Structure 1
Amino acid sequence: MRLVGDKVVIMVSKIILIFIAKILWTVAWDMSDVDDIDDIDIYEINTGKAPFFELPCMKIGGTCAKVHACPPGTKVGQKGLCPEQQKYGMECCRPRHKAVAVSSGSSTGRQHIPVKWTINKEDKGKSWKKKVQPKLLWRTKSKGLTECRSRHGECVPRSFRCSPDLHVSDATGCGFKETCCLRIPLHAM
């Protein structure tokens, strides 16, 4: 009879241990807040090191990104185009072109981005196409008319107040009483 009593005690003690373990597990899980997504503060996720647009890089059509995040051949060779973020390892990438060469090509010392022009075979040489993006092509009869556009600018009357930061002084293709001013889409503001 004693043997049956020992088995009952062992069985009851196992049940008590399992019950205590389950209570401890439940308390530990509640204290961890792993399943409570509502408590996460979204503003803590962004540490201030997320890339943002800077004007020197935007002027040449680029975006600021980590150096290792730039696809091969898109990193602009000139440093300092993302001055606020350079301490975080950000540099200017220009994904619209496979190879980008930044040189000082004007008498004013401003940056000059060479434009690659090819004859559009579909139109049998009647028009030009400029490779801006693989799916976006500017077409015109003369490359001189789109030089301002190729720098993401627009010819505006000289009476129009264009900020010095947005003025492209070495762009061609604008009329005598016009100047080239960078276009900033409203959705970018």
Structure 2
Amino acid sequence: MKTFFYVMAGVAIVLLVLYTYIGGFTAPDVSVITSETKYVAGQPYEGTIKDEALSKTFQRAAEVLDNNELEGMLGNIYYNDPDKSGDSLRAFVGIIVPDTNNITLPAGYELRTVPGGRQVVRAEVNATIAVAPDKLYAAVFDYAQEENLQLEDFYVEWFPEDDRGVVEVPVRQ
């Protein structure tokens, strides 16, 4: 019985170390800022969050970066909150590109512009893509509730580094 306890304690320690390493205990920084214009090259998606087509859309964006078809960082636009709309998601999944001059879009990709100059709640966290989104959205919603801010159902998220995530949500005017 002691051996089982030691093995379980060892597994728990390893899991805690791993969770810490991927940023699981890192708190996001949240602020209200004026957004900058962003250009997103990608593919639209409409369906459930459990649909394999959504996963393939994310995988395609990663391949575009890995194959140097575009320069930029993984980034997405969400036009609704699937928690409020019965698991239905309207999104645009792709790459935030730094410049639209002389850009050649990969097959099936289109370019969308997210206008700047709006007040947004912005959250940033140093964590892997596996845990960053949940932390970011929870931080944005908590901050908006604490500050009595009404948010739009429009979310822009991106991952400028392997272990960094950012999300911006416009404040309803």
Tell whether the structures are fold-level matches, with TM greater than 0.5: no
Between Structure 1 and Structure 2, the one with more strand by share is 2
TM-score (norm 1): 0.21
Q: Which has the higher contact order (CA 8 A, sep 6+)?
A: 2
TM-score (norm 2): 0.22
> Which is greater in Rg?
1
